[in-house]
Structure 1
Amino acid sequence: MSGTRPRTRPGTGGSGTVRAVVGVLWAFLVLVLWLWGGGAPGGAAGRAALTTGDMAAVGRPPGVPRAPAHAPLDAAEPRHVEMPALDISAPVVVRGLDERGAVAPPSFETPDTVGWYGGGARPGERGAALFVGHVDTETRPAVFYGLSAARPGERIRVTGADGRITEFTVDDVRVFAGDRFDARAVYGPREEGRAELRLITCGGAFDPATGSYTANVVVSAYLTGTR
């Protein structure tokens, strides 16, 4: 459901409901680790095979050229992410795998924090760096609440532990139906050899019957500058 803005659910569900909402997202992350042999730093190999019929996409307007890609860098771990067009400005924390083998999400006690999968590419390195965040909590919007409103051409800035800022340009925005999630299209690089970034959260409609959202919002961006 492209362009559908996820909604908060004040007074509904419980801690189990909220955990179910994000459980779908984190299960998908486990799948990609399997697909690419554990997500070694440097990103996944292979070009993404884009699919049709299972997602809605927002592409570049006709006649608008794409910004040239910057060569991949020897990047540091991320510490902060900013997307001015959506008023997103958040600290980034390193996340790994929990005891069940799933990627551990940011705590619900810090819903305005973004998680970076530390076993994969660093932002600016060759491959696709994965950033994940909650869309909401039981009572209020979270860090990626407005992510479905992102548009191609908008900028994302990531500050590394070394103080360097890497700038990414949004390439496309896609909403993947949860029952037809394409891990390669989400996590694989769109163009071989580029440094890319993914911002991922829940999307679509909230289904009270299942306690989860029906889709995932995926913003794909690529490195276009550094300072």
Structure 2
Amino acid sequence: MPQRLDIPDLGVQAPVVARGLDARGALDPPPFDQPGVVGWYAAGAKPGAAGTALMVGHLDTETRPAVFHGISALKPGETVRVIRDDGRVAEFTVDDVRVLTREGFDAHQAYGPRRSGRAELRLITCGDTFDRASRSYTANVIVSAYLTGTGL
């Protein structure tokens, strides 16, 4: 089980909590009163295991940036680390960063594996512009990364 997510290039060190799906079938992020926490889709792959591990975090709150505020600035080749409860660290390398609009959102494109059998990680947050009428962002930012090592 993941315990903490570290993104050294952004200065992020955040606790991870297990999450499920919301009433609409979307990955349920941590509560809004926990803007520094990352949610991991517990029914999916564990970080470092074959498949795609999904993690979600808030972009901001009404008053300040949240845990995934800067993930759209990540670049291919940068590192994301997941510290697990077995004491091991799964290290991932960023493959790409995409912004997918909510209209015509393709879940397989966002969450599906890039290469079969490979351990992958997706970091997901809101992005683009904030629509005040719907009180939501118009897109999602999806960071894709692949496992490049595990260690202590």
TM-score, with length taken from structure 2? 0.94
Q: Which amino acid aligns with 2:37?
A: T
Worse-superposed segment, 97-106 or 144-153? 97-106
Alignment map for 1:98-177 (pairs within 5 Å): 98=22, 102-177=26-101
Alignment map for 1:52-131 (pairs within 5 Å): 77-98=1-22, 102-131=26-55
Q: Aligned partners of 2:128, 2:22: CA distance in 1, in Å?
A: 27
1:87 Cα deviation from its structure 2 partner: 1.2
- Number of residue pairs aligned between Structure 1 and Structure 2: 151
Q: Which has the higher contact order (CA 8 A, sep 6+)?
A: 1
Q: Aligned partners of 2:26, 2:72: CA distance in 1, in Å?
A: 24
Q: Percent identity?
A: 64
2:116 corresponds to: 192
Please give the per-residue CA displacement for 1:88-135, whole angstroms capped at 9, x wherever unaligned.
Answer: 110000112456655432122211000000000000111100000011
Worse-superposed segment, 199-208 or 89-98? 89-98
Please give the per-residue CA displacement for 1:177-208, whole angstroms capped at 9, x wherever unaligned.
Answer: 11021111111100011000000000001111
Q: Aligned partners of 2:72, 2:24: CA distance in 1, in Å?
A: 29
- Answer yes or no: is the 8 Å Cα contact 2:27–2:56 preserved in 1: no
- Answer yes or no: is the 8 Å Cα contact 2:89–2:150 preserved in 1: yes
1:209 Cα deviation from its structure 2 partner: 2.4
1:86 Cα deviation from its structure 2 partner: 1.2
Instruction: State the SS of the aligned residue for 1:185.
Output: helix
Cα–Cα, structure 1 residues 100 and 209, in superposed 2: closer, same or farther, change >3 Å?
closer
- Answer yes or no: is the 8 Å Cα contact 2:99–2:142 preserved in 1: yes
2:147 corresponds to: 223
TM-score, with length taken from structure 1? 0.64
Please give the per-residue CA displacement for 1:44-63, whole angstroms capped at 9, x wherever unaligned.
Answer: xxxxxxxxxxxxxxxxxxxx
Cα RMSD of the aligned pairs, angstroms, is 1.3
Gaps of 5+ in 2: none
Q: Aligned partners of 1:134, 1:123: CA distance in 2, in Å?
A: 20
